Every structure is written in structure tokens, then in C-alpha cells.
Amino acid sequence: MKVKDEKFFITEKCLQFLLEAAGNFYPNEFVALLSEKDDDSVLSEIYMIPNTIYGDTFSSLDLWMVPIGIKATGSVHSHPGESFAPSQADLNFFEKYTVNLIVKKPYKSIEDVAAYDRRGKRANLRIKNEF
Ligand SMILES: [Zn+2]
């Protein structure tokens, strides 16, 4: 993924799915991996990972279950509250991906989604639809 000015893009469809999934999983955490189609720098694909442990205090992705061939560039997980603040476990996990999203309550719009880079630094997230 090419990163310009720490700005990341996501399709409207992908965003809507994440918001809905986060709401459906509440009060548990929703976790998934994200990737781009054709390396176009727009997050549009969502991979729900089998064997993911969903809990109300933590989520853990079983990375051995990520199907071979998936080139995940991002991660997403939800917080069961109204805070975007990444935990230490979140920060350790972020190092594996270019972009990491945290979705918070009330899971309604892009205002409820925060993007972080690999180092845990807050980045911009914009909607960009594919043609
Ligand atoms: Zn978290």
C-alpha cells in the first residue's frame, strides 16, 4: 500500500460493513483483516478469520488461520465503548499492518472509525469509491 501523508482510503461499502459488523458483535469485539483490490490503496476487502476468539475484554486473531494467498494490509477491531484509545496489546498488533482501524460506539459513521499506522500514530481515513 502506498501511503501519502498518512492518509488511508476505504470504500463506502467496506466502511458500512465494518460499522454494521461492529454493532452486531457488540458487546463483544469484532476483529477482521482488510486488504485492497489490485493494490489500488483503497481498503475494500474484509477477511473474517476463522477461530478468532471474540470476547468482551479482548480479541485475538489466530493468524495461522489466515488463508494462504491473502495479502492483508490492514486490521480492524471494534471497541465496546466510546474510546478510540489503543491498548498496549492493540499497539503490538498494529506493527504487523500498514493501517489499523478501531471502530467505537455508536458504530454509525466514519466519525466512529479511527485509523492508526504501524507505529500507532493516528492517521486520516477517507471514503473513496471504486469505479
Ligand atoms: Zn482495542
What is the per-residue pLDDT across 57-77, written as a single tens digit (0 to 9) for each?
Answer: 556 666 556 666 778 899 999
Residue 58: the pLDDT is 57
Is the pLDDT reported for residue 109 higher than 90?
Answer: yes
What's the pLDDT tens digit per position in 22-38?
Answer: 999 998 888 899 998 87
Is the pLDDT reported for residue 51 higher than 70?
Answer: no
Ligand 1 center from residue 30 Cα (angstroms): 10
Ligand 1 center from residue 131 Cα (angstroms): 32
Per-residue confidence band for 41, with pLDDT thresholds at 50, 70 and 90: confident
Strand pairing partners for 126?
9
Structural domain boundaries in the chain: 7-126
Ligand 1 center from residue 102 Cα (angstroms): 7
What's the per-residue H, E or C state across the chain? Answer: CCCECCEEEECHHHHHHHHHHHHHHCCCCCEEEEEECCCCCEEEEEECCCCCEECCCCEECCHHHCCCCCCCCEEEEECCCCCCCCCHHHHHHHCCCCEEEEECCCCCCHHHEEEEECCCCEEEEEECCCC
Residue 68: the pLDDT is 67
Domain with residues 7-126, CATH architecture: 3-Layer(aba) Sandwich (3.40)
Residue 28: the pLDDT is 85
Ligand 1 center from residue 74 Cα (angstroms): 14
What's the pLDDT tens digit per position in 83-99?
Answer: 999 998 899 889 989 99
Residues 6+ positions from 74 with CB-CB distance below 8 Å:
1, 8, 33, 34, 35, 43, 97, 98, 99, 100, 101
| Better pLDDT: 61 or 43 | 43
Name the pTM for this structure: 0.86
